[in-house]
Amino acid sequence: MTVKTTFPKGFLWGGATAANQCEGAYDVDGKGLTIADVSPGGKERLGLLMSGEFPLEIDRDNYTYPNHKGIDFYNRYKEDIAMFAEMGFKTFRMSISWARIFPNGDDAEPNEAGLRHYENVIDELLKYGIEPTITMSHYETPLNLVKEYGGWKNRELIALFERYAKVILERFHTKVKYWMTFNEINTGVFGSFFSTAMREAVPQDNFQALHNQFVASSLATKMAHELNPNIMMGCMSIYATMYTMDSNPLTAIKREEENRLLNYYCNDLQVRGEYPSYALKYFKKNGIEIEIAEGELALIKEHTVDYLSFSYYMSSTVSTEVGEEARGNFFGGTKNPFLKASEWGWEIDPVGLRIALCDLYGRYGVPLYISENGLGASDNVEKDGSINDDYRIDYLKLHIEEMAKAINIDGVDLMAYTPWGCIDLVSASTGEMSKRYGFIYVDLDDEGHGTMKRSKKKSFNWYKEVITNNGL
Ligand code: BG6
């Protein structure tokens, strides 16, 4: 059967970034430190973050901090946005760094210089007709909230986030239609430092932190809709399609349990607005007691999101046998014999994206937004300056084809696609520059050397054509 690869009129093609990974200027114009500013660079970053064995101070004698410099998007945003416009972006997903607005997270007054900066960036996007999509919190909680409050397990963060959300919504609600509250909120299930801003992963605290974020997210959604009913507020989770290694029913049950906790739990709360019954049983079994204040459950129920966004990089395979582990998969699991992996061990699975779209749309029935997807790869600059990233084109092409099938065969309501790191930026899991995702190459290496000059990769013109033809 030939599949029409049409995308809906008004489909939001674009690209995605996060402030901490591209802006640099980490101590400029009154910005406070964030958790990303003390996260060391290098392949060992993820291990350090998991073990908590790194200082919460800048320690240049022992570590490097690539996020401090980023790719200098803070100063070069005009040049970069002009290139996004040249590709024809309809939307650009960016985050606001909380610590540019409230340097310590708990300051009495917001920092006007920070607000002005984002206003300039937003105006620059609008100048080209690019709709900003803003993530309110993308792995960049103010550091002071870790040190003084212990991160998101502390219920005081709800009010602090509410104040931050109020300030940015009041300032930008007429200019920005698409928002997301917390990036990859479900990484909090295993207590990721990036999303919970907590040094230790303890199930009780992880689920309390998530509850506090659900409340904060609903408060932001309520405010946004009151200010401007046209605003579309989304949640954002990482999603990995889960397979079973064999047809053993016991493997299927294991998958069911992992799947609902990792892929569904947060979406169930933020889209359906209720604690699912499997979660209540799980809490009871594991001695988890969440402190819930009066009115919070009603708030979560009433102020659910308008669309569901998710990042998709890989699938995951569940097994009841001892097998070879999949090296880079976020949700662990066994190596899938049918899939190839990226240089960083992330299993590449375009069909898994179609399955993800069907699964999420079937379960929730709200518009879907693929807020991240892409191939982290080393790029080679040829003598003539060209960068022939055919592997990236192949990866994206295969994923876009599966999106088209989900829309045209499966009837999924997909509203947007913003590939990750549309311009090369600092990797979240390793702090490397050499793990590149962009259509735009940035001349900068892992040690921070380079001119930061921007140049177009082969994928730049390819993606431009995809957008011009609306995916055809
Ligand atoms: C997602 C994050 O997990 O994956 C991004 O939301 C991150 O911040 C992206 O950069 C890719 O991961 P990495 O580790 O390759 O940068």
Instruction: Assess whether the C-beta atom of 434 lies below 6 angstroms from ligand 1.
Output: no
Q: Say whether 291 is catalytic.
A: no
Q: What span, in angstroms and rounded, lies between the C-alpha atoms of 203 and 249?
A: 27
Task: Indicate if the pLDDT at residue 331 is higher than 90.
Answer: no
Do 318 and 247 meet the contact criterion of CB atoms below 8 Å apart?
no
Alpha carbons 166 and 114: distance in angstroms, whole number: 15
38-59 pLDDT per residue, tens: 999 988 898 888 888 899 999 9
pTM check: above 0.95: yes
- The mean predicted confidence, pLDDT, of the chain is 96
Query: Which residue reads 């509410």 in tokens?
Result: 162
Residues 124, 338: Cα–Cα separation, whole Å:
44
pLDDT for res 133: 99
Q: Can you give the three-state secondary structure of the chain, one letter per residue?
A: CCCCCCCCCCCEEEEECCHHHHCCCCCCCCCCCEHHHHCCCCCCHHHHHHHCCCCCCCCCCCCCCHHHCCCCHHHHHHHHHHHHHHHCCCEEEEECCHHHHCCCCCCCCCCHHHHHHHHHHHHHHHHCCCEEEEEEECCCCECHHHHCCCHHHCCHHHHHHHHHHHHHHHHHCCCCCEEEEECCHHHHHHCCHHHHCCCCCCHHHHHHHHHHHHHHHHHHHHHHHHHCCCCEEEEEEECCCEEECCCCHHHHHHHHHHHHHHHHHHHHHHHHCCCCHHHHHHHHHCCCCCCCCCCHHHHHHHCCCCEEEEECCCCEEECCCCCCECCCCCCCCECCCCCEECCCCCEECHHHHHHHHHHHHHHHCCCEEEEECCCCECCCCCCCCCCCCHHHHHHHHHHHHHHHHHHHCCCCCEEEECCECCECCCCCCCCCCCCECCCEEECCCCCCCCCCCEEECHHHHHHHHHHHCCCC
CA of 425 to the centre of ligand 1 (A): 10
Over the stretch 4-30, which tens digit does the pLDDT of each residue have? 668 999 999 999 999 999 999 999 999
Tens-digit pLDDT profile for residues 192-215: 999 999 988 899 999 999 999 999
Residue nearest to atom 14 of ligand 1 (CA): 429
Q: Two tokens at 271?
A: 């889209």
CA nearest neighbour of 237 among 307, 317, 298: 307
Q: Give pLDDT, residue 395.
A: 98
Residue 101 pLDDT more than 90?
yes
Residue 322, pLDDT > 80, answer no
Segment 127-158, tens digit of pLDDT: 999 999 999 999 999 999 999 999 999 999 99
Q: Are 20 and 38 in contact (CB under 8 A)?
A: no
The pLDDT score that the predictor gives to residue 419 is: 98
* Shortest-distance atom of ligand 1 to CA 427: 16
Distance 321 CA to ligand 1 centre (A): 30
Mean pLDDT of the region 93-117: 98
Q: Which two tokens stand for residue 18?
A: 């996060």
Does this complex have an ipTM over 0.90? yes
The mean pLDDT value for 389-402 works out to: 98
Residues 6+ apart with CB under 8 A from 121: 77, 81, 94, 132
Q: Which of 372, 432, 447, 465 is an active site residue?
A: 372
Mean pLDDT (whole number) for 392-418: 98
Q: What angle do CA 390, 393, 397 make, to 5 degrees?
A: 140
Summarize the confidence of residues 94-120 as an average pLDDT.
98
What distance in Å separates the CA atoms of residue 281 and residue 229, rounded to the nearest whole number? 36
Whole-number Å distance, alpha carbon 429 to ligand 1 midpoint, is: 6
Pocket test for ligand 1, best of 181, 184, 195, 429 (most atoms within 8 A of CB): 429
User: What does the pLDDT look like over 257-283, one tens digit per residue?
Assistant: 999 999 999 999 999 999 999 999 999
Q: Domain 12-468 - what CATH class?
A: alpha beta
To test ligand 1's pocket by mutation, which of 136, 310, 427 has the most ligand atoms within 8 angstroms of CB? 427
* Residue 328 predicted with pLDDT over 80: no
Which residue matches tokens 């610590």? 99
pLDDT band of residue 321 (cuts 50, 70, 90) is confident
Residues 6+ apart with CB under 8 A from 11: 90, 414, 415, 416, 417, 470, 471
Ligand 1, atom 4, residue with closest C-alpha? 428
